[in-house]
Structures are given as C-alpha cells and as structure tokens.
Amino acid sequence: MLYVDTPTPQDIARLNAARGDVCISIYVPTTPLTQRIGEARLKFRHLISEAADQARAAGHAKREVGLAEIALLHLAEDDHFWRVQANSLAVFATPSGVTSFRLANKLAPSTEVADRFHLLPLMRAVTFPHEAFVLALSEKGVRLVQVFSDMPAKKVKVPGLPKDAASHAGKTTINDKSSFTRIHGEEGQRIRHLSYLRAIDAALRPILAGRDTPLIVAAVDPLAHLYPHVNTYHRMAHDQIRVSPDAVKDNELARLSVPVLDGVYAEDLFKAAQVFEQHSSNGRTATDLTDVARAATYGAVDTLFADMNDTRPGLIDDKGHVTFAKADTADNYRLVDEVARRVIVNGGKVFAVRAGEVPGGRSVGAILRYPV
C-alpha cells in the first residue's frame, strides 16, 4: 500500500499564494519499502544543504535561512515520518514552518529557493488524482466502491440499488430457459439483464450527479458487455476490470483500478491535445514561452500544458515580459512554474505533464480564450 497525502485544490491555492524571502521547495524520489528508504533520506539531507547554500548566497538573512533549514532537518531526522512513504516526497518550507506531501507520482529530485514555491510537479498529483468509483457488478449482487490514492477503499451506500438480478426480476433465477414464459431462452436472459442494469444506472444517478470522477466497471460478460449500453454517466471508463467481483475485496478492486485510471488520464490528455490542434488554425494557441507568459498574465489562457521538468530560471514582470536568467538562484524562479501559477490565478486549467506530452513539442502549450 502507498501512503499518500494527495494535495487538494485548496492546498495548491494556499501554497500558490505564499510569498516570502525564503521559500524552499524540495522534491525527492522515495520508496514504500521501509528497508530501502535510507537513500531517499540521504538525498533529502543533501537537497536541504543545497537549498540553504543557495539562500545564503543570495544574501538572505542568516536567521531566516537557519530557521527554515532547522525545520527541514527535523523532518529529515523523524524516523516515524520516514517509515511510511510513497513514490515521491514534496516538501515546502519557510522560516515559519514545513508542509509535506507523499505522492504516488514518480518525480525527479530537485530543490528550488525563491520568493514563492515551485509547484508544477505537485500539480501533476492534482491533474491525475487517481480517484474513482468502481461498480462491482454480477448477477449475485452489486456494490459501488470509492477508491483513493491516499486512503483505503470504501463502500458507498446507494439507495434503491437492486439486491441481485434474480430478485429484481421477481424470480428465483434469471437463467430460466423454459419456453412457457413470455420471454425465454437467451432473449429472456438478455432482457432481464438489461432491466437489472437499467435499475442500477438509475440508482447511481443521484450519487454521481455533478461529479467528474471516473466510473470503472468490474464485471465479466454478459454484464460487462451490456452495462455500457444502459450507462448514462459521462465519465465511465472505456476499459474495465474483467473479474467476477463477488469474492474480490474492495482494496483489491482499488489496486486493479490503477491501470484503468492511467488509461482514463491518457485519454483525457489526448482529448485536450486534440482541442489544442483544433484551435491552432484560428490563432487560439501559443507555444512560445514568452507569448504564453504574456497571455497568462492577462488571463487569456484557458488551458495550459506545462512540462513540469522544465527548469529554466528567470523573472516575469507584471506585464508578462520574460527575463531569462543564466543560473537558477534564490533571486529568480522557474519560468514555466510561474506561468502555470498565473494561469491558475486567472481561472485556467493546468495539465502538468512530462516532456513529449506537450502539444506543439515545446515546454508549454496554451489554448487561449481569445486570439492575442
């Protein structure tokens, strides 16, 4: 099991708004295997030292730097904290305190000191949160399970959900092949299956209304094949968990949902990239960092694709003009990160992605609200 602290949009907003002379952001790859965590702790201490040196070199007050460094070192020495980790650790420190998140995403090690936090890698955890509903479906019963990356799966109470296929049909079995009934044989079974599935879909509607959480079906044929024909929820995953769920525990369903969710997010990214391509012919896209920075400053970016590993440093002024820096110091920040921050502040959406996933082949790609 991964021990994950997924940041909420509120967490992102709070960190995004933070300002100070010494804002330290550290990302370090970790492991859920406790016996192998020593290397990650050693790397974390090295990144703390690197951040402190960078802050002192910029001339920041020794007391302020020291307070942030001590708080980070206390975390580095906390054996209880390091006993349970995930695939990456994100830590944000100021002289007044430390905030950390254990992440399911595998991130590269980095440290950044500026007057704001470096959040783009953290945004990937929000872009792809690994949360879903699993509809565990069979003739013998049905249940809705909510699965998370940062807590155990839980069964969701659904009023009006049929107990099983036979009781819904008012029979002891739906596998009645008698020719003395009005509907019989394979045709009769299909009609009863569809009636059962429509009742399930109707019961789910009040639970799923207004949500954007993916729904994953866990079933085998014929129900696995038939359910998409009656489903009315807009976020049902195309791929399914092809197991009979009667004897499968909820946490095992959560584990089996991970590759399906990866496919859902890949499809989301593909569809967003298609929208980018559609708008590229009418002047509503931009891929040059200086153009995107200016558009983000004036609230013209609807959707931003940002390479979370782009480390180019510099500054962006109040009019969106970019000044590139030769070296990453505590007097500047990562430009792509700052562009993403401005998009969020102005109500846009950010896809924090890896190199090669940005439409247009650059470090940023923006879908604009209007041509600029």
Task: Give the CATH number for residue 47.
Answer: 3.30.960.10
- Residues 90, 154 within the same domain: no
Q: Over the stretch 194-229, which tens digit does the pLDDT of each residue have?
A: 999 999 999 999 999 988 899 999 999 999 999 999
Considering the domain architecture, whether residues 165 and 186 belong to the same structural domain is answered as yes
Which domain-ending residue is among 93, 127, 161? 127
Q: Has residue 4 been placed in a domain? A: no
Quote the domain boundaries for residue 359.
283-368
**Residues 144, 258: one domain?**
yes
Whether pLDDT at 328 is above 50: yes
Q: Is the pLDDT of residue 285 over 50?
A: yes
Q: Which helix (H) or strand (E) holds 95?
A: none
Q: Same domain, yes or no, for 178 and 200?
A: yes
Q: If you compute the radius of gyration of the chain from its CA atoms, what whole number of angstroms results?
A: 25
Rounded distance between C-alpha atoms, residue 277 and residue 316, angstroms: 27
**Number of structural domains found in the chain:** 3
Q: Which of 166, 170, 171, 163 is nearest to 193 (CA)?
A: 166
Q: Could you tell me if residue 269 is inside a domain?
A: no
242 with 325, same domain: the answer is: no
Q: Which of 335, 76, 329, 198 is nearest to 68 (CA)?
A: 76
Q: 143 and 72 in one domain?
A: no
Report which listed range, 93-97, 150-154, 187-191, is most confident.
Answer: 93-97
> Looking at residue 279, what is its pLDDT?
93
Q: Is residue 67 part of a domain?
A: yes
**pLDDT for 231-246, tens place per residue?**
999 999 999 999 999 9
Can you tell me the mean pLDDT for 30-58? Answer: 93
Residue 2 in any domain: the answer is: no
- For residues 145 and 255, membership in a common domain is answered with yes
Answer whether residue 278 is part of any domain: no
153 and 246 housed in the same domain:
yes
Name the nearest CA neighbour of 265 among 105, 120, 28: 105
pLDDT given for residue 281 in this prediction: 86
Question: Looking at residue 56, what is its pLDDT?
Answer: 93
Instruction: Find the CATH number of the domain harbouring 204.
Output: 3.30.420
pLDDT confidence of residue 3: 64
User: Quick one: 251 and 295 in the same domain?
Assistant: no
The domain spanning residue 315 has which CATH number?
Answer: 3.30.1330.30
Q: Is residue 27 part of a domain?
A: yes
Residues 123 and 136 in one domain: no
179 confidence band (pLDDT: 50, 70, 90)? very low
Query: Is the pLDDT score of 184 beyond 60?
Result: no
Same domain for 161 and 48, yes or no, is: no
C-alpha to C-alpha distance for 105 and 265, rounded to whole angstroms: 13
**Structural domain contains residue 93:** yes
For residues 17-25, average pLDDT? 92
Q: Is residue 153 part of a domain?
A: yes
If asked whether residues 140 and 177 sit together in one domain, one would say yes
344-369: string of b/e by CB count within 10 Å (b at 16+)? bebebebbbbeeebbbbebbbbbbbb
